[in-house]
Amino acid sequence: MPHGTALLVIDMQQGFLPIAFRGAETVAVIAGLRRRAKAAGAPIVTIQDQGADAEPGTDGWRIVPDLAPDPQDPLDLLVHKTTADGFLRTDLDRILRGLGVTEVVVTGFATEICVETTARQALSHGYDLLLVADGHTTSVRPDSGTYAVPARSIAHHNEIYRGMTFPGRSVRVLPAADVDFAAPAPSAQRPAAVPAGVRRAVLSGSTFEEQIGYARAVVDGDRVHVSGTTGFDYATMTISDDVVAQAEQCLRNITTALTEAGASLTDVVRVRYLLPDRADFEPCWPVLRRHFGEVRPAATMLVCGLADPRMKIEMEVDARRTT
């Protein structure tokens, strides 16, 4: 049965525990959250780093025993990553969407790096966020130096997220004792369909929308029409030189628009890809397959010029919201 909330446990591995501030206490907090998530039937996704500091197969790479996933439990899952971002080049987004997750409860190590990066990417991927105030930690370090001491760094990040607003997202910071996996996530209920014949515009804040005069998406009853969307990060108005990175950002931007409209990528019925260079299309196939491989929308690829020479791909989608 789909569940709105999932617990994420990031990099709680044996090699990191000896350098973790209040490591044993953090393990105990997360272990308690795991038990409560299981009791509520909520998915648990353990994210395991296998970068330079966590060589696969070594003792240091292994998950702390008290937090190890149960391979017999289909809702107790494991995802491997190679960067600070738990979503980058992993199956995390596909798994969460397949389980009907709308909110992630984030815990783990290290506060300023993998926890911070994955939490922000969760918001960009369209998920509500609950950061467990006493469920993440960082490395032990001396009081002197350029880094904030561990307790202050953890408190600082908790306060940042308490004051954070993100379009169309719920952002919460709660102690573990107040986390309720049985309660529906804030975005679990989609907005009601706009009555037929009544339109609603969804704006992203892009300067292009203001300058040209259009909406990122238009909701018309149960239909959602998302405008041609490029790989610009609208928060910074920057764009990568890499076509695959642009494709990923296109889909993040589209996901944000669909979420604002009460839909998701699983509701997409048609997608159009526009590229100036046809040779750039095939490198994007793994990204597109990861997002649409189970949805299977109708699709068209067109070779054409785009408005800015930095743009290497543009995507346009139509969706039909399910109720």
| φ/ψ of residue 168, rounded to 5 | 75, 10
Cα–Cα distance for residue pair 314/70, rounded to 1 Å? 41
Of 159, 146, 110, 104, which Cα lies nearest the Cα of 126?
104
Of 99, 101, 158, which Cα lies nearest the Cα of 126?
101
User: Do residues 230 and 306 lie in contact, with contact meaning Cβ atoms separated by under 8 Å?
Assistant: yes
Tokens for 242? 């890499």
- Identify the helix (H) or strand (E) that includes residue 198: none
Kindly provide the residue ranges of all beta strands, DSSP E only, lying in 93-230, ordered along the sequence: 103-109, 128-137, 171-174, 199-202, 217-220, 223-230
Cα–Cα distance for residue pair 112/133, rounded to 1 Å? 13
Q: What's CA 25's distance to the chain center, in Å? A: 27
Cα–Cα distance for residue pair 230/312, rounded to 1 Å? 8
Tell me, yes or no, if 250 is annotated catalytic. Answer: no
Cα–Cα distance for residue pair 93/82, rounded to 1 Å? 15
Given the residues 114, 250, 284, 304, select the one marked as catalytic. 114
Residues in the chain: 323
Cα–Cα distance for residue pair 47/45, rounded to 1 Å? 6
Cα–Cα distance for residue pair 203/206, rounded to 1 Å? 8
Most distant CA atoms of the chain, gap in Å:
64
Tokens for 298? 């109708």
How crowded is the C-beta side of 247, counted as CA atoms within 13 Å? 23
What residues act catalytically?
114
